Amino acid sequence: MGLALACLLVFFSNPVGGRVVSAVADPDIWWHLRDAAQLLHTGHFIRTESWTFTVAGQPWINFEWMAELPYYFAWQRMGDLGLYLVMMLLMGAIIGGVYLLCRLRSGSWTAAFFASIAAVLFATVSLAPRTLLFGWLFLVVELGILWSLEKSRDYTVFLPPLFLLWINTHGSWFIGFVLMVLFFSAGWFEGQWGNAYAVRWAPPQQRKFALVVVASFVLLFLNPYGWRLVAYPLDVAFRQTETLHSVAEWGSLDFHTVRAKVVLGVYGLLALLQLVRRIKWSLQDLIFLAVALYGGFTYMRFLFMAGILVAPLLAIHLSRGRRSFALPAQGERWVNGLAMTVLLAFIVLRIPTEQQLRAGVAANYPQRALPYVRGLAGQGNLFNDFKWGGYLEWNVPQVKEFADTRVDIFVHEGILRDYLRATKVDDTDAILEKYRIRYVLLSKDAPLAYLLEREPDWKPAYQDDQAVILERTH
């Protein structure tokens, strides 16, 4: 029942009906495909940058190498449709897992269903073929292991291998590791404080959980890049501050948007149910709720994480006093069959075609300009919209461009700072001269394109209704 309902939720929330053409238009996916292809063709992990002229030869680690491979294999087999299907399978697994977590915590399939809707609404922030989805899937697995302890089922022996897989897949392992440490640490306390309480682990459990944490930490270092991959989340937090300030998903929640109002509504419902039912909270649940609140409000990127953490807590509140919602086993089987039938109908009707997805890519990237860009190889340095960088690297690898959305290496080398200044028309001429830029590829309505079109030293060399390429004349 859970998987059927979860898949229905995913398909209802997926932008297939309206924005299907943009479903695989995430700017990161192109350089992920490029990196996976390089790893498989050379047999060597990437250790230096070789795709741009600005940071070529600089050290760089491919911190999401394992998560790139499923997307690459799917693309080889099915093209853009393969990327879409991997994304949908991951979303289905995550939301299905959230449903199971909600049912584990609440004991009610109805409460789990409605709580999972909240998780889906939070998850819309990351509906794209992203490596981050693997991280959230591993978080769901981790929470299942931790919360199973409430049912006297101890699967914590699987946490160390989970983190071994996680660190080689995505940097969100750091969030999972911190949550694990906080969860086990809360079990070293005992007491009751109003509606909050803590239960101390038995001494054998304390020793076992301490060993689990140590083993998980040690296994983190079994990766192609050693300590540098383990330290990467700290690099993001303390050395990549420009990333946090300039990339939209690292911004805080905009309370003028519909998404923010939905988030506030979910938290408001949780608070209202608490006032009415006075449910007691374990110390672990309070800690997880605090992490969800801070992460979701501070960084829009972490709304997905917040939904995963909050939905099971909401399910607990929805289930209390509503035992009549539970269906008998035979009734649940009928509902399950109906849900599966509707799901199959939606799969047939709503999965996009390869042509639709290709049209979506063309609507978001300078596909028509590629032949002209290909002819620029060896003709001079190209300054590009950094959101188009990975797409150019994947489709026109012979042309070395200015930057792409990896961001980290461009922050370290000062390239992102110069890019932002140039595109904001702040000392633009000096920056373009600094990098000896001969060609500029930007969106037709970009402020920098407007400026250069009116400069005597620049002329349009190519343009369509989406992109423009300007060439320096002197």
Q: Angle between the 173-186 and 283-298 helix axes, to the nearest 10 degrees?
A: 150
What is the C-alpha to C-alpha distance for residues 298 and 318, in angstroms, rounded to an integer?
27
Structural contact between residues 457 and 474, judged by C-beta atoms closer than 8 angstroms: yes
- Comparing 203-212, 326-335, 410-419, the range with the smallest average pLDDT is 326-335
CB contact set of 38 (below 8 Å; sequence gap of 6+): 46
Task: List, in sequence order, every residue forming a beta bridge with 52; answer none if it has no partner.
Answer: 401
CA distances from 301 to 56, 124, 125 (A): 29, 11, 7
The rounded mean pLDDT for the chain is 87
User: Is the pLDDT confidence value at 10 over 80?
Assistant: no
Q: Residue 67: its pLDDT value, please?
A: 97
**pLDDT, tens only, 36-69:** 999 999 999 999 999 999 999 999 999 999 999 9
User: Is the pLDDT confidence value at 9 over 60?
Assistant: no
Q: Residue 18: its pLDDT value, please?
A: 41
For 353-381, what is the mean pLDDT? 90
Q: Residue 325: its pLDDT value, please?
A: 46
**pLDDT, tens only, 210-264:** 999 999 999 999 999 999 999 999 888 787 777 767 777 777 888 888 888 888 8
**pLDDT, tens only, 104-120:** 999 888 888 888 888 88
CA distances from 248 to 219, 298, 299, 301, 448 (A): 33, 12, 9, 9, 20
Q: Residue 348: its pLDDT value, please?
A: 60
Q: Which long-range contacts (CB under 8 A, 24 or more apart) does 243-249 make?
A: 243/407, 243/408, 243/411, 243/416, 244/299, 246/416, 246/420, 247/407, 248/300, 249/125, 249/299, 249/300, 249/301
Structural contact between residues 56 and 64, judged by C-beta atoms closer than 8 angstroms: no
User: Is the pLDDT confidence value at 430 over 50?
Assistant: yes
User: How sure is the predictor about 375, in pLDDT bands with cuts at 50, 70 and 90?
Assistant: very high
What is the C-alpha to C-alpha distance for residues 102 and 312, in angstroms, rounded to an integer?
4
- Comparing 286-295, 330-339, 429-438, the range with the smallest average pLDDT is 330-339
**pLDDT, tens only, 72-86:** 999 999 999 999 889
Q: Residue 368: its pLDDT value, please?
A: 94
User: How sure is the predictor about 336, in pLDDT bands with cuts at 50, 70 and 90?
Assistant: low
Q: Residue 235: its pLDDT value, please?
A: 86
User: Is the pLDDT confidence value at 92 over 90?
Assistant: no
What is the C-alpha to C-alpha distance for residues 367 and 353, in angstroms, rounded to an integer?
18
One-letter amino acid at 407 equals: V
What is the C-alpha to C-alpha distance for residues 73 and 221, in angstroms, rounded to an integer?
26
Q: Residue 65: its pLDDT value, please?
A: 96
- Cβ-based burial of 300 (10 A; exposed 0-12, middle 13-18, buried ≥19): buried
Q: Residue 248: its pLDDT value, please?
A: 73
Q: Residue 426: its pLDDT value, please?
A: 85
Q: Residue 23: its pLDDT value, please?
A: 62
For residue 259, count other CB atoms closer than 10 A to its CB: 16
Domain residue ranges in the chain: 2-346, 365-472
SS3 281: strand
Closest by CA to 63, choosing from 295, 300, 406, is: 406
The more confident residue out of 407 and 441 is: 441
- The residue whose two tokens read 């250069």 is 452
Q: Residue 328: its pLDDT value, please?
A: 54
Claim: this prediction has a pTM higher than 0.75: yes
Q: Residue 59: phi, psi to the nearest 5? A: -60, 140
For 179-204, what is the mean pLDDT? 93
Q: Which helix (H) or strand (E) holds 30?
A: helix 29-42
User: How sure is the predictor about 446, in pLDDT bands with cuts at 50, 70 and 90?
Assistant: very high
Q: Residue 6: its pLDDT value, please?
A: 46
